[in-house]
Amino acid sequence: MLTLASDFGTPYPAAMKGVVLRRTDARLVDVAHDFPRQDVRAAAFWLREVLPEFPPAVHLVVVDPGVGTDRDALVVRAGDHALVGPDNGVLRPPARALAADDGTDATGGADGTDPIEAYVVSVDDPASTTFHGRDVFAPVAADVHEVGADGLATLDRLTPVPVADPVDLRLPAATVTDEGATGEVLVVDDFGNVITNVPGDVIADADEISVNGERVPVGETFASVAPGERLVTVGSHGYVECDVNRGRGDDAFGLAPGDDVTLVS
């Protein structure tokens, strides 16, 4: 199984699929091709949330603002999974989640909290300087699929590197206090739900809470407030969300990715 994720829109992902299907008959599954353009952090967040739902697979990830520069092409092993994409940090949060999810004990971080392996891809003379998804990452992902996560060492194009070498993106953590938490907006989903980095248990026992100074009801479900009304809830990923029942939270709260969010009980 080989999943594909990018910020390419269409029809560029189809070119990647063609390249892959010349090399393998793997099942292909699209994760998303409309990630916010060149937004490595948003893609890393979504991939961290979504990829652990999958059975063992190769995950081709191309959100790559540095395409054509000397940033490396990477393959990262995380348990029974492998990720292929640019060395800009986008692979690391999902890799950590996949490794944890599989209970793997692959060596990696010295403290055992980051059990992943990293390989740099030898790239010689790609056909383009602007479409490495097609010319570099897709063929490598197909090759990785054919050998499997256990066989990365058998691919001549891959050179193992210390896991500390590649860019290590970490999504920002919220600061939790006795009165609440200070965090930020990670992403806004297609519904307009504002997903923060504040752990859900901050609001677990509250009936209402202040969001940047305004009191808002806390609800377990969207339908706990009337249509069009705001609420704060724990989203499906375990974080505090600022939502509107049958409406858009981003508009109603005036919040966008990167904005600060202060919750006070």
Q: Which residues bind its own copies (CB under 8 A)?
A: 1, 3, 5, 8-12, 14-19, 21-22, 25, 27-35, 37-38, 46, 49-55, 65-69, 127-131, 134-135, 189-191, 220-224, 233-236, 241, 246
Q: How far is the CB of 66 from its own copies (least distance, A)?
A: 6
CB of 108 or CB of 139, closer to its own copies: 139
CB of 21 or CB of 161, closer to its own copies: 21
Q: How far is the CB of 177 from its own copies (least distance, A)?
A: 26
Q: How far is the CB of 169 from its own copies (least distance, A)?
A: 18
Cβ-based neighbours of 246, under 8 Å, separated by 6 or more: 222, 227, 228
Q: How far is the CB of 46 from its own copies (least distance, A)?
A: 5
Q: How far is the CB of 54 from its own copies (least distance, A)?
A: 4
CB of 9 or CB of 160, closer to its own copies: 9
Q: Contact, 60 vs 138, CB < 8 A?
A: yes
Q: 12-21 and 138-147 helices cross at what angle (nearest 10)?
A: 40
Instruction: For residue 163, give the nearest of 110, 90, 93, 99 by alpha carbon.
Output: 110
Q: How far is the CB of 160 from its own copies (least distance, A)?
A: 27
CB of 134 or CB of 230, closer to its own copies: 134
CB of 23 or CB of 157, closer to its own copies: 23
CB of 158 or CB of 244, closer to its own copies: 244
Radius of gyration of the chain (CA): 20
Which residues are registered as beta bridge partners of 209? 216
Q: How far is the CB of 251 from its own copies (least distance, A)?
A: 13
CB of 122 or CB of 236, closer to its own copies: 236
